[in-house]
Each structure stands twice: as C-alpha cells, then as structure tokens.
Amino acid sequence: TPREGHHDEL
Amino acid sequence: MNLFRLFGDLSHLASILILLHKIQTTRSCRGISFKTQALYVTVFVARYLDLFYDWVSLYNFSMKVFFISSSIYILYLMKVRFRPTHDPSIDTFRAEYLVGPCVVLALIFNYKFTFPEVLWSFSIFLESVAILPQLFMLQRTGEAETITTHYLAALGAYRALYIPNWIYRYFSEGVVDPIAVIAGLVQTALYVDFFYVYFTKVLQGQKFELPA
C-alpha cells in the first residue's frame, strides 16, 4: 500500500 | 510516472478543456449535469488539500491547482454566466444518495483514521460515482451533442488508462493502492455502456442517440 499521507496520483 | 498515467492525466485535462470549449462556443451548458460538476469540485477539494502540506512535484502541484480552479470555474459558468441554459428539471439524480454512502465507506475503508486520509478515501469513492448524474441525464434525454460525448469519452479514457498504470506500478514498484484500484475499476465499468454507443455511433459519424 502507498505511504500513508502521501498520494502521488491525481 | 509512466506513460499510462501521463496520458491518463492528459486525457483528464483534455476532457475539462473540451467541456469548457463546449460551454464557451455554444454559450450553453445544455446537456451537462450540474450535479456531476458540483461533485467533481467536492472530489478535487477533498483530495487536493494535501496541496498545502505534501509536495510531490511541480507537475502534480500544477495539475491539482488546475483541476480545482477549472472545476469551480465550470460551476460558475453553469450557475451564473449561462444560468438560463441549465435546466435543473432533467438533472434529477439524487446526489445525496452518492455522498452519504461515500462518507460511510470512507470512515470504514481508509489507510489511517485521520481527517486528511478519510477525506482522501471519500474523494476516491465519490469520484468513482460522480459521473452517475451525468450518465443518468443522458439516459433520460436519450441523446447528446457530439461535443458532450467527446467530453465523456476523454473522461472515460482517463479512467481506463489508470488501470494499466496500476498494473505497471505493481510490477515496477511493487505498489498497490487497493482503495484507488477498486474504486477505479468501478468507475471505469460505469463507462462501458457509454463507450459502446460512442464507438458504434459517434465515431462512425452518427449522432449519439440511445435506442428508445
């Protein structure tokens, strides 16, 4: 899962 | 960044430019669901609050600013500038039936029970169904201006391109974002019927018309 608090997709 | 995501984002960008072009040139927002557009503003504002505390890249930052500002501008065009051309009587989908369940889902499914993360999840779930008032309106009227169908096709293509992007990222980075993937698959599936008519009619030069 992605790093929490960091969403790099739009 | 990979090409699927880049072209997905560009397609998203294009969809908004097509919509703006349609409204400006026809001086009308006929055929466009205000509810769907209002839901998109909600989606962008809820999701892109990280604009203020999480730096990803200049690309990411500019796109977020564009999506928030252009979606608000579209609401302004619909509600103020070209208000008489908007007919609420055919835009009847109950948006609260979408927002409510998305709030509940976001409270249950999130990566951390914090305000920004729950808001992020909410925006992902809401985006997946935000097009429904628009598709419902299309279904009701049974036809659409060609330019409106290009707008929807670009929006659908953006969603479709995110799927190979996730597959690519799984293999290249080992990253899987289950919330985004599941909501994204649902969202893309909603466009299947539309794309069928778009490919078989609009791209063959015919008008977008649903069988009675």
Tens digit of each residue's pLDDT (9 = 90 or more) over B92-122: 999 999 999 999 999 999 999 999 999 999 9
d(CA B197, CA B32): 18
- Which H or E run includes B208? strand B208-209
Chain A residues whose CB is inside 8 A of the B60 CB are 8, 10
Do B60 and A6 count as a contact with CB atoms less than 8 A apart?
no
Mean pLDDT to the nearest integer, B154-178: 96
**What is chain B's mean pLDDT, rounded?**
96
- In this prediction, residue A2 has a pLDDT band, given cuts at 50, 70 and 90, of low
A4 close to B (CB below 8 A): yes
Q: What is the pLDDT of residue B151?
A: 98
Residue B180 contacts residue A8 (beta carbons within 8 Å): no
* 3 state SS of B49: helix
The Cα of B73 is separated from the nearest Cα of chain A by a number of Å equal to: 19
A3 close to B (CB below 8 A): no
Is residue B28 predicted with pLDDT exceeding 90?
Answer: yes
- In this prediction, residue A3 has a pLDDT band, given cuts at 50, 70 and 90, of low
Can you give the length of chain B in residues?
212
Residue B56 burial (CB < 10 Å; 0-12/13-18/19+)?
middle
Summarised one tens digit per residue, pLDDT across range B38-66 is: 999 999 999 999 998 889 999 999 999 99
d(CA B35, CA B98): 11
Centroid of chain to Cα B103: 18
Residue B179 contacts residue B127 (beta carbons within 8 Å): no
So what's the ipTM on this one? 0.86
- Which H or E run includes B68? helix B58-76
d(CA B134, CA B30): 12
Centroid of chain to Cα A2: 5
Is residue B176 predicted with pLDDT exceeding 80?
Answer: yes
DSSP A3: P
